Amino acid sequence: MIKRTGATLTIELIERQGVTQLAGIPGGANLPLYDALSKSRIRHVLARHEQGAAFVAQGMARVSGEPAVCFATSGPGATNVLTALADARLDSIPLVCITGQVALPLIGTDAFQEVDIYGMSLPVCKHNFLVRSPEELLEVIPAAFRIAASGRPGPVLVDIPRDVQQAPVRFGHWPAPGIAEAPRCAPAASISSAADAIAASRRPILYLGGGVVHGGGAQLARALAERCDLPAVMTLMALGVMPYDHPLSLGMLGMHGAEATNHALQRCDLLLAMGARFDDRATGKVAEFCPRAKVVHLDVDASELHKIRRADHPLCGDVTPTLAALIDHLAPTSRTAWRDEIRALRATYPEPKRGRGMARPEDLVRTVGKIAGPDAVVTTDVGQHQMWAAQAWPFSRPRQWLTSGGLGTMGFGLPAAIGAALAEPDRRVICISGDGSLLMNIQEMATAAELGLDIKLVLLNNRAMGLVRQQQDLFYGGNRFASDLDAGTDFCTVARGFGWPVLDLARCGFDRERLQAELCAPGVRFIHAPIDGEARVYPMVPPGAANHHMLTENACEA
């Protein structure tokens, strides 16, 4: 018989899943787990906040596609991870969060640092476990990894009371590690129907969502586009599926997509939605989104089909086998007239001309992207800088772009960059952040410096929560209330205090050679870029409006 305690059993089961590093913070209710972890081969990353730990795990999971792990103690430790769990749920990120809990006899007594994290996390997790005996761990831990990775990925919470961690357990053999269920293909009849619709269409558009990335279908999506001459648009979460310079790429659609892209969608007669959920930031006013188009909708999650837009040809299945089968049903096609029409739209609605320097935020982001190169990973926080990065970064591959899409969580970027650097130590990691967002999880600068990771943090500082202020200017009569950050935080001094070398573009000017030297130097680097506080993200669809009713830079400044 094999003898363990609940804590050592948990750690060894995680090891058997192939996990080599995890992030977390210890506390009274999970100290038995930490005592066992100290004796394992797993590298522990000590975050400075539990939300940061969960976002570190997200960074690992987003670049690898595999479930990552974070630890938190009971009470405030557990509640601190809820935002990151909700973020992972909305963006379909495989995560296993293991929390300590007060001992079983104390549950329900309002004991010190007791909260019902199982109940609180139910709405924001794919699945939840409250472990009541050490024997359950033999089933629960592999199941958590299997559930997190299967179908539509998502976060799983495992809550383990302290006495369960300390209790002895005897068992005869180790359970098999939990692995993702085999991908399933959509029904053959549905695939045949969708193929007929594609063949018959004159103005089709491929609408790619984050599910294409999660399902490993980027290469097949490009193959489908090229085989059938399909112009392709991407959601915020799918950027990189089609390289930015691919002749069939129309870039990002939606609230901050290009004018020509959104107008092309209005003219299409068939919309092929692949791993996309018709999010309101992508569709705008859904009743006026692609009004003339029939819809082919492929999604692994059956609940997404018909939820927002009725699908004429629903395909319920995993993206990789379904796209492969769909391609087999389709002959090579050329759509010269449709491409000519889109080319004319791009001439009618050209993208704004950019300067050759770096004074405009989007020009700075583009320059950083070109210096960083195609192998780099870029993370962002949430706000104007995020949209400038989405518009300007030269994306070339999937899993290059890590951003908080569905929940839009300020404070995501830096800890996610730490996770990306841990999972991909040979890649340069760039975090594009804003001053409002960075302040949310700035303490993780200590974590990155302690680990000596190759992370470059580029701060676009406009002394405001820029996207909030932009909407106040445009839709609330210019009433700038609670959106200015007037303290004038000296971020360069703060960064040095955390042990980061600093390049302050306010002092040296926007010098490309200096910028390149910092971006290519080893280790952490903080690059402070003050930007015009009046700079705005354009185009922009007003909330609740249709995508083709966009506000543009020229129109708003006239």
Task: Give one DSSP letter per residue of 185-200, joined into a string.
Answer: PPPHHHHHHHHHHHHH
> What mean pLDDT is predicted for residues 304-316?
97
Residue 386 pLDDT > 90? yes
End-to-end CA distance of the chain: 79
Report the alpha-carbon distance of residue 387 to residue 401 in Å, rounded: 12
Above 80 in pLDDT, residue 456? yes
pTM reported for the whole predicted model = 0.96
The pLDDT of 296-309, averaged and rounded, is: 97
Structure tokens at 324: 């492969």
Say if residue 439's pLDDT is above 80. Answer: yes
Q: State the pLDDT at residue 227.
A: 97
With cut-offs at 50, 70 and 90, classify the pLDDT of residue 465: very high
- Per-residue confidence (pLDDT) for residue 260, from 0 to 100: 95
Whole-angstrom Cα distance, residue 538 to residue 170?
62
The mean pLDDT value for 517-537 works out to 95
Q: Does residue 286 carry a pLDDT above 70?
A: yes
DSSP string, 293-315: -EEEEEES-GGGTTTSS--SEEE
Enumerate domains of the chain plus CATH numbers. Answer: 2-171 (3.40.50.970), 188-348 (3.40.50.1220), 361-537 (3.40.50.970)
Inform me whether the pLDDT recorded for 372 exceeds 60. Answer: yes
337 or 359: which leads in pLDDT:
337
Copy the structure tokens of residue 550: 């966009």
Position 556 scores a pLDDT of: 66
Distance CA 399, CA 429 (A): 12
For residue 140, pLDDT over 80 is answered with yes
Q: What pLDDT sits at residue 510?
A: 81
> pLDDT confidence of 507, banded at 50, 70, 90?
confident
Query: What integer pLDDT is reported at residue 555 of this predicted model?
Result: 64
Asked if 194 contacts 374 with a C-beta cutoff of 8 angstroms, the reply is no
Q: Which residues of 377-416 are buried (b: 16+ CB within 10 A; e: fewer)?
A: bbbbbbbbbbbbbbbbbbbbebbbbbbbbbbbbbbbbbbb
Q: What is the pLDDT of residue 557?
A: 58
Confidence of residue 356 (pLDDT cuts 50, 70, 90): low
